[in-house]
Amino acid sequence: MNPHRRDSATARPVRSFVGLALVCTLALGACSSAAQTPNPAGSSSDGAGGGLTPLTPAAKGPLDSITWNLGGGEPTSLDYSYTWDTGPGNMVLANLCDNLMRQNPDSSYSPALASAVTTPDPTTYVYELRAGVTFSDGTPMTADDVAFSLQRQLDPDIGSYWGVWFQNVASVTATGPMQVTVKLKAPDVLFGQMMATSAGAVVQKAYVEAKGKDYGTAAGGVMCTGPYELTKWSSGTGITLTARDDYWDKTLQPKVKSINFTFVREPATVTNGLLTGSIDGTWTTPISGLGQLQAATNGKVWSNTGTWSTMLSMASFSGALKDPRIRQALQKSIDYQGITTGLLRGTATPAPAAVGPAYWGYAKDAYAAAHAALPPARQDLEGAKALVVAAGAPSSPIVLAFDAGDAIAASTVASIQDSAKKVGLAVELKPLPAATLVTLWYDPAARKGVDAIYSTSSGDIPEPLEVFAQFVSTSPLNYTGFVNPAYDDPIAQARATSDPAQRAALVAKGQAAAAEIVQTFLPLSNNQVLLYLNKRVTGAPVNSLSSLYYPWAATLGAP
């Protein structure tokens, strides 16, 4: 999970370590990713309402253009170092920039810009680069470009949002004309997997250096190797990508000539656009319009379980949440069923942990058993009242910040406030503009007076460890300073464990420890992906991880 941080005014962070897995404050939108499990009531997974699949039916014919809405709003940057923040930037960048490895719609990994990767020892990754790859200006990709791209993630002056995944990297070196070697300070199983995200994206060194701070902006553009190139960015209005005829991967030669991205957040406007056909598709299908869209004759809602989740991120334990009994009382007071069944209309399930089934890319039986053993996410008002009586109600209210422009967030925190009141806890809601809210993720001064933050977030890979590793006490994302060795120790061991079964056992141990006490996060719900496609378009992955890191637009086309 990652609520990501950025400086909204400059699109540049003020520190190198930022973000949990992907804050996505979507106005009445539910998003998620892979894992084939049941649909929400009334939705459809394919034309016949049958079993879930990683992709909608394959596209057969070409289309001149489609319009796709980014429900999270306009990207603040298309610089790969700053797209670990909100869905919109990743959704666009996935079609512009290839990564060293590719994360496929079925959650498998395969080589991309790296034709092969070897690990001669636990702290060495050797990437053999694919020959014949060119950037969108026709210039060949070289080992120097790849080494530069990864080194840039390490540069403290750049302040990459992906820096947390490079903390164990000792060096990145071009060790041959088409070979790059990464040396680690310690074994880290997450590093290799993260090369299938924008952490492993490759850009053209000369272009980035020439554009400087303008790189990735409307003024500076982007230079990558993906199936599309950026041809227009009108700030506040839209982004246009144009298909490349010379894309290196002929299995993903685009069928749609141009993709026009819009940035509409208002749910009613998005719903109307989908119903009238002015918008062809979106992963941020408005829940408020779900009934209308499920009944629509011009398109279809596709669903899947996913890695998108909601939670309360703990901002401070020095105020109203100082006593762990008060944190536990808040947790017990929450009306999980009302939020998931009512507000989210059955498109989410109560979350006993920060990760759900969509993350279980391996050792699924072990993770399923560990998940089933966790205390259920269920309201217990009497238990909450007893904890408040024992601890004594805080002298000040619990201040809960949220995105003022996100209707689902507003409704959810209002429910939390109402439930807390029933057990003797006062919750003060602090609505903030999205541009202000994101500063809470990187600026301690901005978090002053805030106890918790409502966030919608996602993982980046089908690996539970990726989420839990972000909440250890030594993580820069641990704002409270809370230390729990029973959690930290197994998670640290898991990060150095290559054997999947052993790693799953360690992660499950840490997960159980986290469930015993509210530490740096309080899970609320695991949400489903709701993809809407106009019937003239098909081929999109029903998987939000693919929407972020797979060249999904290249699979679109006419039925």
Share of residues in the chain with pLDDT > 90 (%): 76
Calpha distance 255→66 (Å, rounded)? 11
Other beta carbons within 10 angstroms of residue 250's beta carbon come to: 6
Give the list of residues 6+ apart from residue 50 with CB closer than 8 angstroms, or none: none
Q: Residues 79-103: pLDDT tens digits?
A: 999 998 657 899 999 999 999 999 9
pLDDT at 146 over 60: yes
CA angle 34, 5, 194 (to 5 degrees): 40
In 133-277, which ranges are E strands? 169-176, 179-184, 228-234, 238-243, 256-262
Q: How far is CA 471 from CA 165, 480, 520, in A?
A: 13, 10, 6
pLDDT at 33 over 60: no
The tokens for 37 are 């499990």
Calpha distance 390→322 (Å, rounded)? 14
Position with higher pLDDT, 21 vs 501? 501
Q: For 140, left (φ over 0), alpha (ψ -120 to 50), or beta? A: beta
pLDDT at 118: 97
pLDDT at 374 over 60: yes
pLDDT at 514 over 70: yes
Q: What pLDDT band is residue 192 in, cutting at 50, 70 and 90?
A: very high
pLDDT at 19: 32
Average pLDDT over residues 269-294: 95
Q: What pLDDT band is residue 407 in, cutting at 50, 70 and 90?
A: confident
pLDDT at 85: 60
- Pairing between strand 452-457 and 299-314? antiparallel
The tokens for 13 are 């962070």
**CA dihedral in degrees (286, 287, 291, 294; nearest 10)?**
60
Position with higher pLDDT, 307 vs 21? 307
Is the distance from CB of 222 to CB of 97 less than 8 angstroms? yes
Q: What pLDDT band is residue 274 in, cutting at 50, 70 and 90?
A: very high
Q: What pLDDT band is residue 406 in, cutting at 50, 70 and 90?
A: confident
Calpha distance 138→91 (Å, rounded)? 24
The tokens for 139 are 């210039």
Range with the lowest mean pLDDT among 52-66, 116-130, 294-308, 521-535? 52-66
Is the distance from CB of 452 to CB of 313 less than 8 angstroms? yes
pLDDT at 50 over 80: no
pLDDT at 36 over 60: no
| Amino acid sitting at position 264 | V
Angle between helices 324-333 and 407-422 (to 10 degrees): 110
Q: What pLDDT band is residue 529 in, cutting at 50, 70 and 90?
A: confident
> Any idea what DSSP says for residue 341?
I
Average pLDDT over residues 296-308: 89
In the beta sheet, which residues pair with residue 111?
A: 101
Q: Residues 6-22: pLDDT tens digits?
A: 322 223 332 222 333 33
Other beta carbons within 10 angstroms of residue 302's beta carbon come to: 27
Q: Measured in Å, how far apart are the chain's first and last C-alpha atoms? A: 35
Average pLDDT over residues 307-319: 92
Calpha distance 91→256 (Å, rounded)? 16
Average pLDDT over residues 371-377: 96
Average pLDDT over residues 282-291: 92
| Amino acid sitting at position 339 | I
**CA dihedral in degrees (391, 392, 397, 403; nearest 10)?**
30
Q: Which of 351-360, 439-448, 550-559 has the highest mean pLDDT?
A: 550-559
Range with the lowest mean pLDDT among 74-88, 143-157, 209-223? 74-88
Q: What pLDDT band is residue 153 in, cutting at 50, 70 and 90?
A: very high
CATH architecture of 73-223: Alpha-Beta Complex (3.90)
Task: Give the residue extent of every domain in the chain.
Answer: 73-223, 309-527
Q: How far is CA 272 from CA 285, 296, 347, in A?
A: 11, 11, 21
Calpha distance 219→550 (Å, rounded)? 25
Q: In the chain, count H helices and then E strands.
A: 16, 17
Calpha distance 144→180 (Å, rounded)? 8
pLDDT at 37: 29
Average pLDDT over residues 180-194: 97
Calpha distance 531→124 (Å, rounded)? 39
Closest CA to 476 of 162, 193, 189: 162
Is the distance from CB of 287 to CB of 42 less than 8 angstroms? no
Is the distance from CB of 227 to CB of 124 less than 8 angstroms? no
| Amino acid sitting at position 236 | G
Topology, domain 309-527: Dipeptide-binding Protein; domain 3 (3.10.105)
CA 442, 448, 449, 451 dihedral sign is positive
pLDDT at 40 over 60: no
Is the distance from CB of 23 to CB of 4 less than 8 angstroms? yes
Average pLDDT over residues 153-181: 95
pLDDT at 30 over 80: no
pLDDT at 531: 94
Closest CA to 197 of 161, 223, 244: 161
How high is the mean pLDDT of the chain? 88
pLDDT at 52 over 70: no
Calpha distance 340→324 (Å, rounded)? 25
Calpha distance 157→367 (Å, rounded)? 39
